[in-house]
Structures are given as structure tokens and as C-alpha cells.
Amino acid sequence: EDQVTQSPEALRLQEGESSSLNCSYTVSGLRGLFWYRQDPGKGPEFLFTLYSAGEEKEKERLKATLTKKESFLHITAPKPEDSATYLCAVQAEAGGSYIPTFGRGTSLIVHP
């Protein structure tokens, strides 16, 4: 059973059309939730870390929020250069280790 579920799997937007990506998780004892951006054939690039429900982080057109069961990545007025796969990863304590579990990602395409 997946511990981290991202939706939608794919999202196509027109430039300027705002939307949100979802990451829901079922781990207990969440220690941190991370958002990464991955361009094709490249490694994931860190965007945000959220640690507790109610926390919000912003960077340019992106805003990440966290509740006790899910996180949202809001994209305001996206541009074509925002096209990428957005990965969510959660870290929970498991026997003293904090290895992140990644979701399958949301593939975002922004059309000009």
C-alpha cells in the first residue's frame, strides 16, 4: 500500500492558469514533507520542506501547504518553464532512520 499518493498523475495548463497539485500521505509520525522538481533526464531539485500542519512556504509562483493528511503545491499564473514533474517525499521515523519515501509525481505541462 502506497504511503504517499500524488494526484493528478498528469496536468496540462495554459500559461497563467493557476492550479494545485496534491500529495496525501498515510505515514504515522511524520517528521517532514519535501517537494522536489524534476526535469526530464535530470535529478530532482529541492523546492520546499514542511514540518508541521499549518505551515506554508512560498517561492516565486509556487506555494506549498501542509495539513495532517496532505500537502498542496499551488502554482499561480504558471509559465512554460514551470513544466516538470513535481515529486513529494515524506520522512517518518522508522527504526531510527529517516529515509524519504517518494510519491509517483505529477507531470505538469504548461502551454504558452
99 binds other proteins (CB under 8 A): yes
- Asked if 92 and 31 count as a contact pair (C-beta separation under 8 A), the reply is yes
Cα-based angle 48, 29, 8 (whole degrees, multiple of 5): 50
53 binds other proteins (CB under 8 A): no
Cell 515529486 maps to which residue?
87
Minimum CB separation from other proteins for residue 57, in Å?
A: 12
71 binds other proteins (CB under 8 A): no
Cα–Cα distances in Å, from 84 out to 2, 9, 20, 78, 96?
Answer: 22, 12, 14, 12, 33
Nearer to other proteins, 83 or 107 (CB): 107
Nearer to other proteins, 15 or 45 (CB): 45
Identity of the amino acid at 62: L
31 binds other proteins (CB under 8 A): yes
Q: Which stretch binds other proteins (CB under 8 A): 11-19, 32-40, 58-66, 73-81?
A: 32-40
- Asked if 43 and 36 count as a contact pair (C-beta separation under 8 A), the reply is no
Residues that bind other proteins (CB under 8 A): 31-32, 34, 36, 41-46, 49, 87, 91, 97-100, 102-105, 107
